[in-house]
């Protein structure tokens, strides 16, 4: 058994990638505008959810300097735009239906905001149903923060 060149997990495939990372690599070919993906970013892609990757790729394509799975010393942020102080958390349904999770999320939002990072919570359902509008609005918010510079 060989190790996957991206995530380090074991793979039975001879190309050096596990099935998940191979699919993510193939998916990258559909977004040719994203250049200079580092090894570190490739690893981050493997950890991100498809919805987070979709948002990240759309932002990058529009030249917003976004990063997947960025570490803020407490947890990994799904999609981060550190230059403009914006964190994006792409959430599954349980974030809304479980009060304990919702409270933990609100606390994180508070601590991030104290450090100057505004958190946007985007439910998966929004990515799936109103993707274009969702990305356009994120870019509007980024632009508002750009003007503060």
Binding site for Zn ion (CB under 5 A): 4, 6-7, 9, 18, 21
Residues 6+ apart with CB under 8 A from 125: 93
CB of 13 to Zn ion, least distance (A): 10
54: buried, middle or exposed (CB in 10 Å: 19+, 13-18, 0-12)?
A: buried
What residues pair up with 67 in beta bridges, in sequence order?
Answer: 80
Pairing, β 86-91 against β 118-123:
parallel
* 21 close to 32: Cβ distance less than 8 angstroms: no
Task: Select from 7, 82, 91, 95 the least CA-distant residue to 51.
Answer: 91
CB of 68 to Zn ion, least distance (A): 15
* 80 close to 67: Cβ distance less than 8 angstroms: yes
* 26 close to 39: Cβ distance less than 8 angstroms: no
> Would you say 11 or 112 has its CB closer to Zn ion?
11
> Would you say 21 or 134 has its CB closer to Zn ion?
21
> Would you say 3 or 115 has its CB closer to Zn ion?
3
CB of 48 to Zn ion, least distance (A): 13
CB of 8 to Zn ion, least distance (A): 7
CB of 9 to Zn ion, least distance (A): 5
> Would you say 4 or 64 has its CB closer to Zn ion?
4
> Would you say 7 or 77 has its CB closer to Zn ion?
7
């Amino acid at each position: 058994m060989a190790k996957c060149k991206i995530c380090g997990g074991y793979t039975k495939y001879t190309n050096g990638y596990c099935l998940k990372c191979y699919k993510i690599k193939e998916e990258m070919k559909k977004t040719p505008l994203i250049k200079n993906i580092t090894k570190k970013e490739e690893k981050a892609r493997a950890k991100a959810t498809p919805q987070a990757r979709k948002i990240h790729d759309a932002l990058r394509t529009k030249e917003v300097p976004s990063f997947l799975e960025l570490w803020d010393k407490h947890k990994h942020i799904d999609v981060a735009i550190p230059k403009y102080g914006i964190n994006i958390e792409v959430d599954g349904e349980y974030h809304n239906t479980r009060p304990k999770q919702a409270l933990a999320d609100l606390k994180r939002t508070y601590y991030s905001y104290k450090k100057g990072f505004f958190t946007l919570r985007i439910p998966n359902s929004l990515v799936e149903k109103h993707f274009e509008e969702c990305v356009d609005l994120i870019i509007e918010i980024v632009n508002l923060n750009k003007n503060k510079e």
